[in-house]
């Protein structure tokens, strides 16, 4: 079954985690990128502030085809106790009907559960089934370590599926 790992990452931590998941799952990866507005990239704080008022940043979603994948992992960092807005933009831009989705976030300390809840709600509103989710702490962890946590989680998920 074709699997896809989609992530947004600003400083590379979620990217490292995503690469571990993809390696273990034999999945393709796609990175969400934010579009420039008036010739410049919006800053993280600006995006977080705007999202709290219901305005999400535009992202390049057209080039990321999710149609041919039935199992999709999607993840990003936690910003201001919420899911990073570019991840929510991407979720909003797509039709998730019938997709089996796994969500993951990285955060320094807090907000992971809230971010996962937001992502799950947005995905389910668009027809996805969220089968599992996990928040990872990235503080003081190297990218190699985060990658190995991604591999570990993917192994756990495969084990769960095989036991059913
Ligand atoms: C604008 C901004 C807001 C953040 N807000 C939080 C937060 O609310 N809680 C938290 O634990 N970490 C927060 N962080 C830390 C990131 O979630 C954490 O470093 C994450 O692993 C970064 O992922 P990335 O390297 O994929 O961008 C914030 C980071 C940034 C840049």
Q: 78: pLDDT confidence band, cut at 50, 70 and 90?
A: very high
14 vs 136: CA distance, rounded Å: 9
Assess whether the C-beta atom of 80 lies below 6 angstroms from ligand 1: yes
| CA 109 to ligand 1 center in whole angstroms | 8
What is the average pLDDT across 50-69? 96
Q: Where are the domains of the chain?
A: 3-162
Is the pLDDT at 36 greater than 70, yes or no? yes
Assess whether the C-beta atom of 108 lies below 6 angstroms from ligand 1: yes
| CA 134 to ligand 1 center in whole angstroms | 15
Assess whether the C-beta atom of 12 lies below 6 angstroms from ligand 1: yes
Phi-psi region of 80 (alpha: psi -120 to 50; beta: other; left: phi over 0): left
pLDDT at 1: 65
What is the average pLDDT across 51-78? 96
ipTM for the whole complex: 0.99
| CA 137 to ligand 1 center in whole angstroms | 10
If DSSP states are collapsed to H, E and C, what string results for the chain?
A: CCEEEEECCCCCHHHHHHHHHHHHHCCEEEECCECCECCECCCHHHHHHHHHCCCCCCECCCCCCCCCCCEEEEEEEEECCEECHHHHHHHHHCCCCCCEEEEEEEECCCCHHHHHHHHHHHHHHCCCEEEEEEEEECCCCCHHHHHHHHHHHHHHHHHHHHCC
Give the mean pLDDT of the chain: 96
| CA 95 to ligand 1 center in whole angstroms | 27
Decide which of 3.40.50.300, 3.55.40.10, 3.40.190.10, 3.40.50.360 is the CATH code for 3-162.
3.40.50.360
Per residue in 6-25, pLDDT tens?
Answer: 999 999 999 999 999 999 99
152 vs 164: CA distance, rounded Å: 19
What is the average pLDDT across 100-122? 98
């Amino acid at each position: 079954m074709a699997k896809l790992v989609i992530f947004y990452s600003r400083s590379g931590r979620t990217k490292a985690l995503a690469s571990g998941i993809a390696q273990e799952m034999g999945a393709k990866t796609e990175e969400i990128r934010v579009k420039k507005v008036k010739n410049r990239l919006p800053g993280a704080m600006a995006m977080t502030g705007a999202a709290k008022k219901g305005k999400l940043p535009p992202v390049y979603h057209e080039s990321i085809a999710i149609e041919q994948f039935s199992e999709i992992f999607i993840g990003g960092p936690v910003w201001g106790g919420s899911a990073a807005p570019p991840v929510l933009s991407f979720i909003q831009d797509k039709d998730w009907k019938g997709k089996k989705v796994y969500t993951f976030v990285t955060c320094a300390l807090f907000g992971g559960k809230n971010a996962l809840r937001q992502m799950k709600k947005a995905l389910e509103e668009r027809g996805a089934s969220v089968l599992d989710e996990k928040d990872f702490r990235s503080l003081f962890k190297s990218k190699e370590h985060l990658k190995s946590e991604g591999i570990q989680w993917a192994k756990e998920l495969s084990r769960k599926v095989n036991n059913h």
